[in-house]
């Protein structure tokens, strides 16, 4: 991100000064920069990536469990015979064992672990695609909020100009007091909408910073903006592409195959297993007499469980039920993908139609507002015409902005639902992710840190609370007095005949 001086217009500058944000410089951030930063720094993505390490460890464990093993043992025995003499001896042995036949159980367990690793890798890749979509949405949300602030600021400025004009006309005796009051109320309402829009913009920026995992107080200048990019793929082609490319469907398929391997592993307990073993042993007798001996043993062990009271059959039934569940999950996920893709596609086309129809509405609303304002200045129009025209203009502009960014968001949603993968540049950003972990001791200190209470904090808080309560009471009295004065002026104007029904 580059550092440049950044101006957001008078409204945004005033708002930044109001809440105390730095306005001298901010970070230029394009949409692609935001995606790359999130792919390289997002904490949630790092957590998901750890599942790959777990799957690798599970595969390693499966291979070791079915490989060569060397064990050692040592024993110390004392035996009391009927002849009242005892025998004490010490034995040491080392045995190497290797399973040469397990009725397919070893192969099934290793194959299941390999599928688990593939599923974990695909899950991480799918999480990257979902993160990309989240960043795109957050970026466009912030852009929409920023343009909404501009519209609300322009509305406030127009109402301010209108209020000034009405006040001057009232002072000249050509307008009634009620017009001044009404224009003041509309100005206040417009200011409320501006405050809400400014807050929404800051909230959206905070959401974007969280995805990027950057300094939460860093000002951002979003340099990318909406550009209409026509989507020419029909819906059936999108669904077909999704069925062939969605990584979560492939994950479901791997889980189904894992369940099949679990059935094979469970059925293997019905068959025999053969294990080769060999190793030396040493024994030493030190009571009643001293003697030593050593042996080398080698052989093969055949194990076959003829009767286990139905335990193996129950395990097979459990594995078959899990296999059936995995198959149904695959079918359900296909149905959900079909539905979500259709919804996103229809919403995208609806936003596209709104985008094409709201452009003319803005021009017509601008012309209507100009006519209403000039008629009012000439003494031929009504206050209501001004208010209606301004409201229609603001609505038309906000509808146009909403249609633009709705189209951009839904288009990105359609592409995500299709399973379109990352670009080459984004894959390079993924490669930059480092597994820098915070030491456990540091995390524990941060979590368990006791809050520091400033000295005389309670007394200061009580004083400030009382001061705020007094200010609030004074404001209420002032508002009541102002309302009383305004009511008196209106009653006076009614008595003088200046306000008509």
For 245-269, write each residue's pLDDT tens digit. 999 999 999 999 999 988 988 888 8
For 70-119, write each residue's pLDDT tens digit. 888 888 877 766 666 777 777 888 888 888 888 888 888 888 889 999 99
Half-sphere exposure of 424 (CA within 13 A, CB side): 0
C-alpha 11/C-alpha 22 separation (Å) is 15
- Is a pLDDT exceeding 60 seen at residue 290? yes
Q: How many Å is the Cα radius of gyration of the chain?
A: 38
Per-residue model confidence (pLDDT) at position 407: 94
For 360-388, write each residue's pLDDT tens digit. 777 788 777 777 777 767 767 666 777 77
The structure tokens listed for 497 are 């005949």
Taking the alpha carbons of 362, 359, 352, 201 in that order, is the dihedral positive or negative? negative
pLDDT range class, residue 180, cuts 50, 70, 90: confident
The structure tokens listed for 248 are 């979560």
For 192-233, write each residue's pLDDT tens digit. 999 999 999 999 999 999 999 988 888 889 998 888 888 999
DSSP E strand stretches across 142-224: 220-222
Per-residue model confidence (pLDDT) at position 461: 45
What contacts 202, CB < 8 A, 6 or more positions away? 19
Whether the ω angle into residue 288 lies within 30 degrees of 0, i.e. cis, is yes
Nearest to 243 by CA among 450, 56, 419, 442: 419
Find out whether 105 and 265 touch, Cβ atoms under 8 Å: yes
The structure tokens listed for 206 are 């905070």
Instruction: Indicate the SS3 state at residue 447.
Output: helix
Find out whether 204 and 220 touch, Cβ atoms under 8 Å: no
- Is a pLDDT exceeding 60 seen at residue 475? no
pLDDT range class, residue 234, cuts 50, 70, 90: very high
CA 397 to chain CA centroid, nearest Å: 30
pLDDT range class, residue 490, cuts 50, 70, 90: very low
- Is a pLDDT exceeding 90 seen at residue 32? yes
Burial of 476 (0-12, 13-18, 19+ CB in 10 A): exposed
The structure tokens listed for 267 are 């059925």
Q: What is the DSSP string of 322-377?
A: HHHHHHHHHHHHHHHHHHHHHHHHHHHHHHHHHHHHHHHHHHHHHHHHHHHHHHHH
* Mean pLDDT value across the chain: 79
For 430-457, write each residue's pLDDT tens digit. 888 754 444 555 545 545 555 555 555 4
């Amino acid at each position: 991100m580059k550092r440049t001086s950044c101006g957001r217009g008078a409204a945004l500058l005033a708002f930044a000064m109001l809440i105390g944000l730095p306005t001298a410089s901010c970070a230029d951030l394009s949409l692609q920069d935001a995606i790359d930063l999130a792919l390289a720094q997002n904490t949630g993505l790092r957590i998901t990536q750890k599942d790959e390490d777990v799957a690798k460890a599970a595969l390693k464990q499966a291979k070791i469990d079915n490989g060569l093993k060397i064990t050692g043992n040592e024993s110390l025995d004392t035996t009391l015979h009927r002849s009242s003499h005892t025998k004490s001896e010490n034995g040491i042995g080392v045995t190497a064992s290797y399973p040469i036949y397990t009725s397919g159980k070893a192969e099934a367990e290793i194959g299941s672990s390999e599928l688990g690793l593939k599923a974990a890798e695909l899950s991480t890749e799918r999480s990257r695609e979902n993160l990309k979509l989240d960043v795109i949405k957050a970026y466009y949300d912030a852009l929409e909020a920023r343009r909404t602030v501009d519209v609300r600021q322009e509305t406030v400025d127009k109402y301010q100009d209108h209020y000034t004009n009405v006040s001057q006309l009232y002072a000249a005796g050509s307008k009634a007091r009620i017009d001044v009051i009404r224009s003041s109320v509309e100005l206040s309402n417009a200011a409320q909408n501006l405050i809400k829009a400014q807050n929404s913009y800051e909230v959206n920026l905070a959401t974007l910073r969280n995805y990027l995992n950057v300094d939460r107080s860093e000002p951002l200048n979003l340099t990318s903006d909406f550009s209409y990019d026509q989507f020419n793929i029909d819906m059936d082609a999108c669904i077909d592409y999704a069925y062939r490319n969605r990584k979560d469907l492939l994950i479901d398929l791997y889980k189904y195959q894992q369940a099949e391997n679990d059935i094979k592993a469970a059925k293997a307990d019905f068959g025999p297993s053969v294990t080769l073993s060999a190793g030396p042993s040493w024994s030493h007798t030190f009571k009643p007499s001293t003697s030593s001996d050593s042996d080398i043993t080698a052989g093969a062990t055949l194990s076959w469980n003829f009767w286990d009271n139905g335990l193996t059959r129950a395990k097979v039934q459990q594995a078959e039920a899990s296999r059936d569940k995995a198959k149904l999950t695959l079918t359900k996920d296909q149905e959900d993908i079909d539905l979500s893709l259709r919804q996103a596609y229809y919403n995208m086309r609806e936003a596209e139609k709104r985008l094409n129809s709201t452009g003319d509405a803005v021009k017509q609303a601008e012309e209507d507002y100009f006519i209403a304002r000039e008629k009012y200045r000439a003494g031929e129009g009504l206050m209501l015409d001004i208010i209606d025209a301004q409201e229609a203009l603001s609505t038309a502009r906000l509808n146009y902005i909403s249609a633009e960014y709705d189209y951009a968001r839904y288009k990105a949603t359609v592409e995500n639902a299709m399973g379109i993968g990352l670009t080459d540049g984004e894959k390079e950003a993924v490669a930059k992710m480092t597994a820098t972990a915070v030491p456990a001791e540091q995390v524990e200190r941060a979590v368990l840190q006791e809050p520091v209470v400033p000295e005389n904090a309670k007394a200061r808080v009580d004083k400030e609370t009382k001061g705020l309560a007094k200010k609030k009471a004074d404001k209420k009295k002032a508002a009541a007095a102002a309302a009383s004065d305004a009511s008196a002026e209106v009653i006076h104007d009614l008595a003088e005949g200046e306000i008509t029904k």
